Amino acid sequence: MKEAADATEFEEFAARHRQAVWDEVLRPVREAKDDPAWRPTGFMESLAYQARVSKILHERFIAQRHF
């Protein structure tokens, strides 16, 4: 039961913060390409960025729970 509650709590946290983290992760590339709307185009590239976003979300979720 605790694992399900934790998963639900994480999903709610991620839903609130996902877009901001995506913007943060993509900002350096967007600035380098001078294209504020740039998005990854390839499948593997997209997976790599998604993995970074997920890692950041999990780290921040854990950090805020320990405050």
Residue 43's alpha-carbon distances to 8, 19, 27, 47, in angstroms, are: 28, 19, 19, 6
Q: What's the structural domain count of the chain?
A: 1
- pLDDT category, 6, cuts 50, 70, 90? confident
- pLDDT category, 1, cuts 50, 70, 90? low
Of residues 14, 5, 26, 2, the one with CA closest to residue 61: 14
CA 17 to chain centre: 7
pLDDT in tens, 13-56: 999 999 999 999 999 999 999 999 999 999 999 999 999 999 99
Which domain covers residue 45, as residue numbers?
Answer: 2-65
Angle at 31 between CA 27 and CA 36, to 5 degrees: 75
